[in-house]
């Protein structure tokens, strides 16, 4: 009976997360179609490239967002797992459908460049952050950055910045230099809002976990995330009881999945999470999990 209740609870939680990812996709689409695009301002990442291609070749923006993100969904499947890929598909389809739905909606702001960049960045950042917080992504450039960070000696956030510089250079050929600068400002504001909503856009995370099931959690981290972890012996200051503390460093896209693993195995575990500015060397490069 307890198992059935737990399964129903997990299913309801997954459905709720999926709904929130969908809402995030539609919020981001609303920001694009009613604030940025009507004022000749773009976004970064795959969405920005899709906007440029839509303007150049007069193709539907929604279809381009869906098609260009396909290879990045595969990267997400390899890097984080099928649950993340599923939620990312849901999010990207929602963003794509939302841009089609709101395409003929009148712009809510016109002319005021400062208000356009601030409002557009906030709306898009909130939508993307809501999706990331619930285990999905609306843009594939983050997944590419994670892959490149595994192969080359730079951090994920460095690659996100580097890749978007090229995106905004391309944007400048379509929207002009002013449009590219405004696009970069809007993207910067969106990234800060995502950080607030999702709590951890720009770097890696260190998890320290004190649990009664250390071996099971480490095994699940290895099998389901492709990550390694270390043990430290710690002692309770009050009880003087000896525990095994798990330390694991992950990238930001894996945070939701790791929390899910911990909750499933030992919901009463004591967990602390730290932001990490940069990770180099060691065994941080993970194995594919499929």
Task: Output DSSP code: residue 246.
Answer: E
What pTM value is reported for the model? 0.73
The H or E element spanning position 247 is: strand 242-251
Per-residue confidence (pLDDT) for residue 282, from 0 to 100: 63
Backbone angles phi, psi at 250, to 5 degrees: -130, 165
User: How far apart are the C-alpha atoms of 290 and 278, rounded to whole Å?
Assistant: 26
Domains and CATH numbers, the chain: 2-198 (no CATH), 204-276 (3.30.70.120)
The CA-atom distances, in angstroms, between 32 and each of 23, 201, 206, 242 are: 14, 20, 34, 54
Q: How far is Cα of residue 102 from the mean position of the Cα atoms in its chain?
A: 23
75 vs 150: CA distance, rounded Å: 12
Task: Give backbone dihedrals phi and psi of 272, rounded to 5 degrees, phi first.
Answer: -120, 140
Residue 3: count other Cβ atoms within 10 Å of its Cβ: 7
Number of H helices, E strands in the chain: 10, 4
* pLDDT given for residue 202 in this prediction: 47
Please give the chain's pLDDT, 290 residues, in tens: 567 777 888 889 899 999 999 999 999 999 999 999 999 999 999 999 999 999 999 999 999 999 999 998 888 888 778 888 899 999 999 999 999 999 999 999 988 889 999 999 999 999 998 998 888 889 888 777 767 766 777 766 677 778 889 999 999 999 999 999 999 999 999 988 887 786 544 467 899 999 989 999 999 999 988 888 999 888 877 877 888 899 999 887 788 889 999 999 999 999 999 887 666 666 566 666 65
Distance CA 189, CA 36 (A): 13
| Phi, psi angles (nearest 5°) of residue 83 | -65, -45
């Amino acid at each position: 009976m307890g198992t059935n209740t737990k399964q129903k609870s997990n299913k309801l939680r997954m459905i709720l997360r999926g709904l929130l990812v969908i809402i995030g996709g539609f919020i981001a689409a609303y920001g694009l179609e009613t604030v940025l695009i009507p004022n000749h301002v773009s976004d970064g990442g795959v969405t920005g490239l899709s906007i440029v291609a839509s303007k150049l070749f007069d193709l539907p923006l929604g279809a381009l967002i869906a098609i260009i993100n396909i290879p990045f969904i595969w990267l997400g499947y390899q890097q984080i797992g099928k649950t993340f890929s599923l939620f990312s598909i849901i999010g990207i389809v929602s963003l794509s459908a939302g841009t089609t739905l709101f395409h003929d909606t009148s712009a809510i702001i016109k002319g005021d460049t400062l208000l356009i960049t601030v409002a557009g960045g906030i709306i898009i950042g909130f939508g993307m952050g809501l999706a990331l917080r619930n285990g999905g992504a609306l843009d594939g450039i983050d997944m590419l950055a994670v892959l490149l960070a595994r192969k080359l000696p730079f951090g994920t956030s460095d690659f996100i910045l580097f890749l978007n510089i090229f995106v905004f250079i391309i944007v400048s050929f379509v929207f002009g230099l002013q449009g590219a600068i405004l696009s970069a400002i809007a993207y910067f504001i969106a990234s800060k809002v995502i950080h607030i909503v999702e709590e951890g856009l720009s770097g890696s995370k260190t998890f320290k976990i004190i649990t009664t099931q250390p071996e099971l959690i480490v095994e699940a981290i290895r099998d389901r995330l492709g990550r390694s972890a270390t043990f430290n012996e710690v002692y309770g200051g009050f009880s003087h009881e000896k525990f095994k503390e798990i330390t694991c460093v992950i990238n930001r896209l894996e945070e939701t999945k790791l929390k899910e693993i911990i909750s499933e195995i030992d919901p009463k575990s004591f967990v602390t999470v730290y932001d990490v500015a940069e990770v180099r060397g060691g065994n941080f490069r993970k194995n594919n999990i499929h």
